[in-house]
Protein backbone atom coordinates (compact mmCIF):
# COMPACT_ATOMS: atom_id res chain seq x y z
CA UNK A 1 0.00 0.00 0.00
CA UNK A 2 1.32 3.43 -0.92
CA UNK A 3 0.13 6.74 0.51
CA UNK A 4 0.91 10.13 -0.99
CA UNK A 5 1.28 13.61 0.43
CA UNK A 6 2.79 16.72 -1.11
CA UNK A 7 4.07 20.12 -0.11
CA UNK A 8 4.73 23.34 -1.98
CA UNK A 9 6.83 26.22 -0.65
CA UNK A 10 7.03 29.75 -2.07
CA UNK A 11 9.46 32.44 -0.98
CA UNK A 12 12.25 32.70 1.55
CA UNK A 13 12.43 30.77 4.80
CA UNK A 14 11.09 33.49 7.10
CA UNK A 15 8.78 35.34 4.72
CA UNK A 16 7.62 32.41 2.61
CA UNK A 17 4.64 30.17 2.93
CA UNK A 18 3.73 26.67 2.00
CA UNK A 19 0.85 24.29 1.59
CA UNK A 20 0.77 20.64 2.53
CA UNK A 21 -1.87 18.21 1.30
CA UNK A 22 -2.72 14.55 1.06
CA UNK A 23 -3.93 12.61 -1.95
CA UNK A 24 -7.08 11.62 -0.02
CA UNK A 25 -7.98 15.28 0.45
CA UNK A 26 -8.20 14.92 4.23
CA UNK A 27 -5.37 17.41 4.69
CA UNK A 28 -4.97 20.67 2.79
CA UNK A 29 -3.29 23.22 5.04
CA UNK A 30 -0.92 26.14 4.90
CA UNK A 31 2.28 26.34 6.93
CA UNK A 32 4.99 28.92 7.54
CA UNK A 33 8.11 29.74 9.53
CA UNK A 34 6.01 31.52 12.16
CA UNK A 35 3.76 28.48 12.58
CA UNK A 36 6.73 26.18 12.95
CA UNK A 37 9.08 28.26 15.09
CA UNK A 38 7.14 31.13 16.62
CA UNK A 39 3.90 29.56 17.85
CA UNK A 40 1.59 31.16 15.31
CA UNK A 41 -1.60 29.07 14.95
CA UNK A 42 -1.50 26.53 12.14
CA UNK A 43 0.18 23.28 11.33
CA UNK A 44 3.84 22.36 10.95
CA UNK A 45 5.80 19.22 10.05
CA UNK A 46 6.34 18.20 13.68
CA UNK A 47 2.63 18.40 14.45
CA UNK A 48 1.90 16.20 11.44
CA UNK A 49 4.52 13.66 12.54
CA UNK A 50 2.94 13.66 16.01
CA UNK A 51 -0.50 12.98 14.54
CA UNK A 52 0.88 10.16 12.40
CA UNK A 53 2.73 8.63 15.35
CA UNK A 54 -0.22 8.85 17.76
CA UNK A 55 -2.63 7.27 15.29
CA UNK A 56 -0.20 4.54 14.22
CA UNK A 57 0.63 3.67 17.84
CA UNK A 58 -3.07 3.48 18.80
CA UNK A 59 -3.81 1.08 15.95
CA UNK A 60 -0.77 -1.06 16.77
CA UNK A 61 -1.77 -1.22 20.44
CA UNK A 62 -5.29 -2.28 19.46
CA UNK A 63 -3.85 -5.07 17.30
CA UNK A 64 -1.51 -6.32 20.02
CA UNK A 65 -4.29 -6.24 22.62
CA UNK A 66 -6.50 -8.20 20.23
CA UNK A 67 -3.81 -10.87 19.91
CA UNK A 68 -3.94 -11.17 23.72
CA UNK A 69 -7.74 -11.53 23.69
CA UNK A 70 -8.61 -7.95 24.70
CA UNK A 71 -10.65 -5.32 22.90
CA UNK A 72 -10.04 -1.70 23.81
CA UNK A 73 -13.05 0.37 24.76
CA UNK A 74 -10.91 3.43 24.05
CA UNK A 75 -7.26 4.30 23.42
CA UNK A 76 -6.35 7.98 23.59
CA UNK A 77 -2.80 8.82 22.51
CA UNK A 78 -1.14 12.19 22.23
CA UNK A 79 2.37 12.74 20.90
CA UNK A 80 4.67 15.60 21.90
CA UNK A 81 7.31 16.09 19.22
CA UNK A 82 10.43 18.03 20.21
CA UNK A 83 12.39 19.91 17.56
CA UNK A 84 15.90 20.70 18.85
CA UNK A 85 18.75 22.76 17.51
CA UNK A 86 22.39 21.76 17.86
CA UNK A 87 25.64 22.65 16.12
CA UNK A 88 24.68 20.12 13.43
CA UNK A 89 21.35 21.87 12.75
CA UNK A 90 17.77 21.02 13.64
CA UNK A 91 16.50 17.53 14.42
CA UNK A 92 13.52 15.84 16.00
CA UNK A 93 15.20 14.68 19.17
CA UNK A 94 12.31 13.27 21.18
CA UNK A 95 8.75 12.11 20.84
CA UNK A 96 6.77 11.43 24.00
CA UNK A 97 3.60 9.38 23.71
CA UNK A 98 1.00 9.90 26.42
CA UNK A 99 -1.50 7.04 26.38
CA UNK A 100 -4.68 6.48 28.36
CA UNK A 101 -6.69 3.38 27.59
CA UNK A 102 -9.89 1.71 28.75
CA UNK A 103 -9.72 -2.05 28.26
CA UNK A 104 -12.27 -4.29 29.92
CA UNK A 105 -10.69 -7.24 31.73
CA UNK A 106 -7.08 -6.23 31.16
CA UNK A 107 -4.62 -5.94 34.02
CA UNK A 108 -1.95 -3.26 34.11
CA UNK A 109 0.95 -5.67 33.47
CA UNK A 110 -0.62 -6.98 30.25
CA UNK A 111 -1.46 -3.44 29.17
CA UNK A 112 2.07 -2.12 29.85
CA UNK A 113 3.62 -5.03 27.92
CA UNK A 114 1.30 -4.42 24.96
CA UNK A 115 2.00 -0.66 25.04
CA UNK A 116 5.79 -1.17 25.05
CA UNK A 117 5.49 -3.61 22.15
CA UNK A 118 3.36 -1.14 20.19
CA UNK A 119 5.79 1.71 20.93
CA UNK A 120 8.71 -0.32 19.58
CA UNK A 121 6.95 -1.84 16.60
CA UNK A 122 4.38 0.51 15.10
CA UNK A 123 5.59 1.43 11.60
CA UNK A 124 5.94 5.14 12.42
CA UNK A 125 8.09 4.38 15.49
CA UNK A 126 10.34 2.26 13.31
CA UNK A 127 10.93 5.02 10.77
CA UNK A 128 11.74 7.77 13.28
CA UNK A 129 15.30 8.49 14.39
CA UNK A 130 14.34 9.98 17.75
CA UNK A 131 14.23 8.99 21.40
CA UNK A 132 10.68 7.74 21.91
CA UNK A 133 9.40 7.82 25.49
CA UNK A 134 5.96 6.96 26.80
CA UNK A 135 3.61 7.25 29.74
CA UNK A 136 0.85 4.65 29.57
CA UNK A 137 -2.10 4.58 31.95
CA UNK A 138 -4.83 1.96 32.11
CA UNK A 139 -8.09 3.43 33.40
CA UNK A 140 -9.76 1.36 36.07
Counting every residue written for the chain, the total comes to 140
Q: Is the separation of the CB atoms in 103 and 73 below 8 Å?
A: yes
CB 46 within 8 A of CB 83: yes
In sequence order, what are the beta bridge partners of 76?
Answer: 100
Span 19-60, pLDDT tens digits? 999 999 999 999 999 999 998 999 999 999 999 999 999 999
**CATH architecture of the domain with residue range 45-138:** 2-Layer Sandwich (3.30)
Residues of the chain with pLDDT under 70: none
What single-letter DSSP state applies at residue 88? T
pLDDT of the residue at 140: 77
Which residues are CB-neighbours of 63 under 8 A, at least 6 positions away?
118
pTM, 2 dp? 0.90
pLDDT score at 130: 84
- Percent of the chain with pLDDT strictly greater than 90: 84
- Which pLDDT score is estimated for 48? 95
Amino acid sequence: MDSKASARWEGGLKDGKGNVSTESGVLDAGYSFKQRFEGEPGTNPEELIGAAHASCFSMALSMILGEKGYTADAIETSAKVTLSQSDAGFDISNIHLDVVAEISGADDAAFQEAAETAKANCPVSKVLNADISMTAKLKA
